[in-house]
Structure 1
Amino acid sequence: MKAFGWNMMLALAWMVLSGTYTISNLFAGMIMSYVVLAYVLRDRPLFGTYFGKLPKLVNFILFFIWDLIKANARVAYDVLTPTHLMKPAVIAVPLDLKTDGAITVFSNLITVTPGSLALDVSTDKKVLYVHIMYFEDEELHVAELKRLEAMVIDLLG
């Protein structure tokens, strides 16, 4: 059985043994069983990918939330002040992603962030065109997007 299956089975067993059938108790069981399985199965290479994904996922979520907060603050500041700081531009971001699903996830993450919009992917799937609302330096924007792309590759690849 896969590690996630073991994790769910142990979490459900925790719920049955504790006698409390709530979402918070299931979540607590998931966390405890994750820690137990990570310790017990630490020497098996088959289970290493499952236990390595959670810290990467938490890191990605925190990074993306911080990025969203910064982008929202910048757009809100520009809306609330009398001067407009917008300098729109379209930049080309070279892609290291290979699959359509990964490119779609990456494009959606860009589009959800205020101030940026994924416009199109080249026909050979090597370049993503992105509209930037606050253009400063193309290398800076490409580097920020490549950092996000690296995290997507890390999670999905």
Structure 2
Amino acid sequence: MNLFTINTLLAIVWSSLWADFTLMSLATGFVIGYAALWVAQPLFGGRVLYFRRVWRVLKLFAFFLYELVVSSVRVAWDVLTPTQLSNPAIIEMPLDVKSDIEILLVTNLISLTPGTLSLDVSPDRSTLIVHAMFADDPDALIAELKDGMERKVMEVFEQ
């Protein structure tokens, strides 16, 4: 049984003990279960990737929330003000991610961020076609996407 499954079971047991199956209770149980597994880490032997991966997923989530807020404000400002600040363009972003799940996550995170939309992935899965609302400098936008979303996704899935 992997550590994520054990942590989930610990969260369910925690909620059962409190007879409170709310999202907050499950999240609390998950955090307490994570801490308990962290303390018991020597019992699992060697390096345990689970603890680093959870931290990287949380960092990706926080980064995405930050990008979501910043881009939402930027798009709302452009829509609500009389001046047109957008310079839309379709750009080709070379992909460093290789697996299907990494490509899926990168494309979905880009599409969920206001002002950008993933249009297609090349047949050889080396290029992502993106429509960007603010593409004044396409090279800077590509660098921002690669250094942001793609790098964070790669960190989550690296061994």
TM-score class, shorter: 0.7 to 0.9
Q: Deviations over 1:81-108 (max 9, x none)?
A: 1111111111111101112232122111
Question: Which amino acid counterpart does residue 22 of structure 1 have in structure 2?
Answer: F
Structure 2 residue aligned with 1:149: 150
Distance 1:21 1:39 in 2: 25
Structure 1 residue aligned with 2:20: 21
Distance 1:84 1:53 in 2: 42
Unaligned residue ranges in structure 2 (runs of 5+):
none
Query: Post-superposition shift, 1:156?
Result: 3.2
Query: Post-superposition shift, 1:64?
Result: 0.4
Within-5 A mapping of 1:1-157 = 1-16=1-16, 18-23=17-22, 24-42=24-42, 44-45=45-46, 48-147=48-147, 148-157=149-158
Divergent runs of 4+, >6 A: none
* TM-score (structure 2 length as normaliser): 0.86
Question: Which amino acid counterpart does residue 155 of structure 1 have in structure 2?
Answer: V
Q: Secondary structure at the match of 1:45?
A: coil
Query: Post-superposition shift, 1:19?
Result: 4.5
- Which stretch of the first structure deviates more once superposed, 59-68 or 4-13? 4-13
Distance 1:71 1:56 in 2: 22
Distance 2:9 2:83 in 1: 57
* TM-score (structure 1 length as normaliser): 0.87
Distance 1:25 1:89 in 2: 45
Distance 1:112 1:9 in 2: 31
Q: 1:5 to 1:100 in 2, by over 3 A?
A: closer
Distance 1:104 1:26 in 2: 27
Question: Which amino acid counterpart does residue 49 of structure 1 have in structure 2?
Answer: L
Unaligned residue ranges in structure 1 (runs of 5+):
none
- Which stretch of the first structure deviates more once superposed, 66-75 or 96-105? 96-105
Distance 1:114 1:15 in 2: 36
- Which stretch of the first structure deviates more once superposed, 1-10 or 78-87? 1-10
Distance 1:155 1:109 in 2: 14
Query: Post-superposition shift, 1:76?
Result: 0.5
- Identical aligned residues as a percent: 37
- Which stretch of the first structure deviates more once superposed, 85-94 or 96-105? 96-105
